[in-house]
Amino acid sequence: MSTAAAASRSWRPPPFIANPWLRRGMWLGVLAYLALAIGSLEINWVRVAEGLERGWRFISAFARPNFTGRWGEISAGILESLAMTVTATAIGVALAVPVGLGAARNLAPLPVYLFCRGLIALSRTFQEVIIAILFVKMFGFGPLAGMVTLVVGTIGFNAKLLAEDIESADPAAMEAIRATGGSWGQLITYGVQPQVMPRFTGLAAYRLDINFRESSVIGIVGAGGIGSTLNTAFDRYEFETAAAILLVIIVIVMMAEYSSGHIRRRFQ
């Protein structure tokens, strides 16, 4: 067999996008965008080169983090973050139940449905930090503003997922409760709640974990927690303290993730 014949029999995997014109057009569009985007970046390479030394100092600071120097501030910040996380998750999950019920199309009348869905969409569109700016203006600096921010985020997250769960719940169970003449309250308690409860509990635990992560950043805009301590540490170029704070955050996040995963596995 000649090499030409072998070449003609060689096989190529089919392309991801079948239409060749669409494929080439997309590549062209991507290239044009990249050229435009990278061309419009204004990067001060001199400054970057100067900063590399500082970056190296930061990375080496992880080898000798300074926990003791500002331990008072670090522990106060962490405690505040944890307190914000716990209160916000409890209040937010409690409030997510009525909103979630209202946002389920198979339970709520249309006006209630639209209102609750609008509420959820609004709280999910804006980044937590932006919401925190508004609440800091309203409630003043401190953990209360942060807590309210996290409550809003929790409602958006848990209510949306609860509503989706309710909508995909088995209608036969609800039908059966209705057939016995059960009231709306009984329908929820005996027809819906047993079906959605395990997942809802798991998602509440997951949200606890997310809220702690968020609580470590909203302090940057003055909403309490470890974020403000971290911000100060960076402003003072105290990289050893910053590294210590980051390590504490990473450890707590890992612990929270592990335990929330454990809780979720137990309940599902």
Partner 1 sequence: MPVTERDGVKVWRRRDRRSQFSIWLGWFFGTLLFVQAWRLVSEHTIWDFALDAPVQAWDLMVRMVPPRWSYIDSLWRPMWDTLNIATLGTLLSIAIAFPIAFLAARNTTPGLVFVRPAALLMIVSSRSINSLIWALLLVTVVGPGVLAGIIAIALRSIGFIGKLLYEAIEETDRVQVEAITATGASRPQQLTYGVLPQIMPAFAGISVYRWDINIRESTVLGLVGAGGIGLQLNASVSRLAWNEVTVIFIVIFVTVIVSEWVSAKVRHAII
From the list 106-114, 155-163, 182-190, 220-228, the region that binds partner 1 by CB under 8 A is 220-228
* 116 burial via Cβ count (<10 Å: 0-12, 13-18, 19+): buried
CB-wise, 8 or 44, nearer to partner 1?
44
From the list 51-59, 97-105, 111-119, 177-185, the region that binds partner 1 by CB under 8 A is 51-59
Q: Which residue has the tokens 């027809």?
A: 191
Cα distance between residue 140 and residue 242, in whole Å: 26
3-state secondary structure of 127: coil
Query: According to the binding rule CB under 8 A, does residue 22 interact with partner 1?
Result: no
**Residue of the chain from 26, 114, 130, 197 that contacts partner 1 (CB under 8 A):** 130
Longest pairwise C-alpha distance within the chain: 82
Query: According to the binding rule CB under 8 A, does residue 173 interact with partner 1?
Result: no
Of the chain, the end-to-end C-alpha distance in Å amounts to 60
Residue 160, H or E segment: helix 143-167
Query: According to the binding rule CB under 8 A, does residue 197 interact with partner 1?
Result: no
Residue 126's Cα: distance from chain center in Å?
12
**Residue of the chain from 140, 186, 197, 268 that contacts partner 1 (CB under 8 A):** 140
Q: Is 169 left (phi over 0), alpha (psi -120 to 50) or beta?
A: beta
Q: Which residues bind partner 1 (CB under 8 A)?
A: 13, 16, 33, 37-38, 40-44, 47-48, 50-52, 54-55, 58, 79-80, 82-87, 90, 125-127, 129-130, 133-134, 137-144, 147, 213-214, 216-217, 220-221, 224, 227, 230-231, 234, 237, 242, 246, 249-250, 253-254, 257
